[in-house]
Amino acid sequence: MTTSTPPPVLVEHVTRRFGAVTALADVSLRVDAGEVVGLLGPNGAGKTTLLSLVAGLRTPDEGTVRVFGGDPRDPASRTSLGTTPQETGLPETLRVREVVDFVAGHYADPMPRAELLARFGLTDLGERQTGALSGGQKRRLAVALSLVGRPRLVLLDEPTTGLDVEARHVLWQALRDYHADGATVIVTSHYLEEIEALAERVVVVGNGTVLADDSLARVLDLVAVRRVSFTLASGGPAGLVGLPGVQDVLEAADAPSGARVTLLASDADAAVRALVERGVPFADLEVRGASLEEAFLSLTRDDAPVAAPAGPGVVR
């Protein structure tokens, strides 16, 4: 057997609980060198917990986490790691250049300050005290600081939440450039737009498990759910769950006649055809795009459709 270089991230059968809450349940994930992986999922899905385990800030209750083959709590592993948590505190009275120099002092071969500031559009702010930066500027500086040590693995927890469009684009470009230099990146977000801008592979996390792990294009298909709504003239919507193209029925299964029923459909055309063929007495039909939260909801349901059981694809 040939020995191979350990991957930047190897998470195997990890469970992490907080009291009665199981934040992650038997999660496995491998990220190879040079990948950009987006972790997508609703609030409380377990994304931050997963990143904090990879960053060595928490330990799993069960299972193992390896970073470049080492324990992420080991300082030797951590020198290859750059992280930006969801919330960052910067010392208010220090100037931007002082903060960069302070962090750079911890590394043998830091990125030159001028290069770092230029990458993040912060060149003109070197003399500014961090307390006087705007929220977007602070966030850009926080992400920039994660790259000072030229990490081979970058972990970003919701890097652009709260930023305006322009600041968001500057940050995305800086991250794309850093990835192009050879880094491996894991980024969490609630925003599909952010994941689309950055990730090539997307891992959808929900209820502490990996719901899907696939290419960006395949996951976009998966979450491209349509809402099909109509008023039921008579009878209940029982049986609509199994209808072709239908992932989920949002209203109660015994909705009375006259009730408004909403279906989440992966194929709205097939769903509407099936409604007609089965003689479902609908009125005021409306079809529109569902929100990402609704798509997550339908993916998270116990009776959601299951795709490939192993390997790339949906892994529920």
Smallest distance from the beta carbon of 63 to ligand ATP, in angstroms? 15
Strand partners, 37: 186, 201
Name which of 49 and 209 has its Cβ closer to ligand ATP. 49
Name which of 21 and 238 has its Cβ closer to ligand ATP. 21
Smallest distance from the beta carbon of 62 to ligand ATP, in angstroms? 15
Name which of 159 and 245 has its Cβ closer to ligand ATP. 159
Name which of 47 and 119 has its Cβ closer to ligand ATP. 47
Smallest distance from the beta carbon of 316 to ligand ATP, in angstroms? 17
Smallest distance from the beta carbon of 16 to ligand ATP, in angstroms? 8
Smallest distance from the beta carbon of 188 to ligand ATP, in angstroms? 6
Q: Which residue ranges make up the site for ligand ATP (CB under 6 A)?
A: 18, 21, 23, 41, 43-49, 190
Give the integer Cα–Cα distance in Å for 188 and 55. Answer: 13
